[in-house]
Structure 1
Amino acid sequence: MVAVKGLILICLLQLSVQVDVNKIALAKMMKYFDDNVQPKPGAQYAIAIRLTKNQCTDEKFSITSVFSLADAKIVKETIKNGQTCELCTSPKNVIAARPKSEDPKDHSEYRLLYPVGNSPMDKLLKNVDKNSCVVFYTYNSPCVKECISGEKNILDGLSNWKNKLKDGINVFAFQSIWGKDVTKDLPNEFQKIDKIVPLYQCPEAEQINCFKCRGQKTTSYCRTVPDNAYYQYINY
């Protein structure tokens, strides 16, 4: 009986292990987006793509096999014109948006995650299962004032995403810290996102790797504090 209970416990522990995205594969995706989707250098935009777990965990995975240069061009032209890409390519595996320049409170992350229940993200998640992986990338980190703490924050949208893909791989990544937030309490603010969806930084200077903000290894971008309660960004 003891042996059986022990075996059951081991099986449960194995089932609870969270599979992580391969950080090198993720970095390659981010570079591909910036090279082929970003409207112009330094311009804010957000994009999400639906993949499989195998594609997200294979360092040798090439994103062009599921998101071609031709499709990337379609997405780029769509968001350059101020429109939201809602599965705008034939594989129907990508959504993307830019903020509306005429509305200072309009943010690309919010446009993809809302309205909850009928958002571009909901449409992307329509056919996901336990073998799916969804990667959400925003060029600048979500701003504290609006995206994290404001009335139009993205937290409910992230929870909706997580609830629809509980057993798959979920990734929220960004490249640069939003310039107006460098003096904010980023460890405390960013953990609000990381508690829902694992958060990564893929800095431009490190085009071959991304950094998990609650990983065990100290890096120049994020580190784990002793109680693992939140992470801290250093060397902005």
Structure 2
Amino acid sequence: MARHVLLCLLCLLTCIPGGMLLTNEELARVTEYIKKEMTDGHLNFQHAYAVKFTLGECRRLSPEVIKQALSQEDIESLRDTVYKFGVYNGPRMVAASYSDSQVSQPTLHAEYRLLHGEGNVSPIQNLMNKAPEAGCVVFFSLYSPCLSRCVNIENDFNIIKELSVFDNVNEAQRAFVFRNIYSDDKKRPDNEIVDGWRSLNERMTLFNCKNGNCDRCFIRPVGGKESLVVRKCLHP
């Protein structure tokens, strides 16, 4: 009986329509691999990337699987392009920094540049259109999407609506990950941060991943009307 109750409680905390989420351990492996092997020491300022894996790879996101899936990425090009405020487009991932203020006014945030782009097809839409088909997707931002623009649905530069680009991927197999809280938002009350993040979490499950550990930022009980915030994400 005790075991049955425990399983039910775990399901209330972690189960969502469509199956189990990408696990905290899998997300940690993906983000740590990209940090150590591709970006660390080169992209220590705000940047974002989206990376996709096939359904078969998603079933076992081991370090070996991640390495093989990303073996065709041009790491030097990724570093150089993003460092120079460009947008990197690779076989399995896209990446960008914020735009150079001398080129674009206002400065465009990294997440927006990947989701919106400058042409008819955004970098992420182009990535999703290419083979192989995405079985799971990780969208990473070094800093959490800002409350004033990125998650503000009243702002023309918000990213919430653009996240529909991932709608063809199972809800359980897409995650939005950040490492640090955006500096300007640290000054805001917790309830403002929660309200802003919740609008994003409703489209793509939000995680905080730092130092090899990942925490899901909201818990949505089965049948519950509103997601509950995990306070650890507010103070990583």
TM range (shorter): 0.7 to 0.9
Q: Shift in Å at residue 38 of structure 1?
A: 4.8
2:142–2:178: 8 Å Cα contact kept in structure 1?
yes
Partner of 2:5: none
**Cα 1:28/1:138, change in 2 over 3 Å:** same
- The aligned amino acid for 2:156 is E
Partner of 1:97: 96
1:130–1:167: 8 Å Cα contact kept in structure 2?
no
| Counterpart among 76, 81, 89 of residue 79 in structure 2 | 76
TM-score for both structures, normalised by structure 2:
0.75
% identical aligned pairs: 22
- The aligned amino acid for 2:235 is N
Q: Shift in Å at residue 59 of structure 1?
A: 5.3
1:180 matched to 2:184? The reply is yes
Q: Shift in Å at residue 70 of structure 1?
A: 6.4
Q: Shift in Å at residue 130 of structure 1?
A: 7.8
Q: Shift in Å at residue 121 of structure 1?
A: 0.7
1:44–1:139: 8 Å Cα contact kept in structure 2?
yes
**Which blocks of at least 5 consecutive residues in structure 1 are unaligned?**
1-13, 217-225
Q: Shift in Å at residue 42 of structure 1?
A: 3.5
What is the alpha-carbon distance in structure 1 between the residues aligned to residue 17 and residue 146 of structure 2?
Answer: 32
**Cα 1:54/1:186, change in 2 over 3 Å:** farther
Partner of 1:135: 138
Partner of 1:9: none
What is the alpha-carbon distance in structure 2 between the residues aligned to residue 31 and residue 69 of structure 1?
Answer: 18
TM-score for both structures, normalised by structure 1:
0.75
Q: Shift in Å at residue 127 of structure 1?
A: 4.1
2:43–2:79: 8 Å Cα contact kept in structure 1?
no
**Cα 1:108/1:41, change in 2 over 3 Å:** closer
Q: Shift in Å at residue 110 of structure 1?
A: 0.3
Q: Shift in Å at residue 20 of structure 1?
A: 1.3
Q: Shift in Å at residue 19 of structure 1?
A: 3.0
Structure 2 SS opposite 1:158: helix
**Which blocks of at least 5 consecutive residues in structure 2 are unaligned?**
1-14
- The aligned amino acid for 2:114 is L
What is the alpha-carbon distance in structure 1 between the residues aligned to residue 44 and residue 130 of structure 2?
Answer: 33
What is the alpha-carbon distance in structure 2 between the residues aligned to residue 157 and residue 235 of structure 1?
Answer: 27
1:25–1:61: 8 Å Cα contact kept in structure 2?
no
What is the alpha-carbon distance in structure 2 between the residues aligned to residue 163 and residue 169 of structure 1?
Answer: 10
Q: Matched residue pairs, number?
A: 207
Q: Shift in Å at residue 136 of structure 1?
A: 0.8
1:26–1:56: 8 Å Cα contact kept in structure 2?
no
| Counterpart among 118, 123, 128 of residue 121 in structure 2 | 118
Q: Shift in Å at residue 106 of structure 1?
A: 1.0
**Cα 1:128/1:16, change in 2 over 3 Å:** farther
What is the alpha-carbon distance in structure 2 between the residues aligned to residue 66 and residue 153 of structure 1?
Answer: 31
RMSD after superposition: 3.0
Partner of 1:194: 201
Q: Shift in Å at residue 53 of structure 1?
A: 3.4
| Bigger relative CO (Cα 8 Å, ≥ 6 apart) | 2
What is the alpha-carbon distance in structure 2 between the residues aligned to residue 194 and residue 129 of structure 1?
Answer: 26
- The C-alpha deviation readout for 1:53-88, integer Å capped at 9, x for no partner, is 34334353432112139633321122112210123x
- The aligned amino acid for 1:23 is N
**Cα 1:170/1:193, change in 2 over 3 Å:** same
| Counterpart among 146, 155, 160 of residue 160 in structure 2 | 155
- The C-alpha deviation readout for 1:113-143, integer Å capped at 9, x for no partner, is 0049610011111147886111110100011
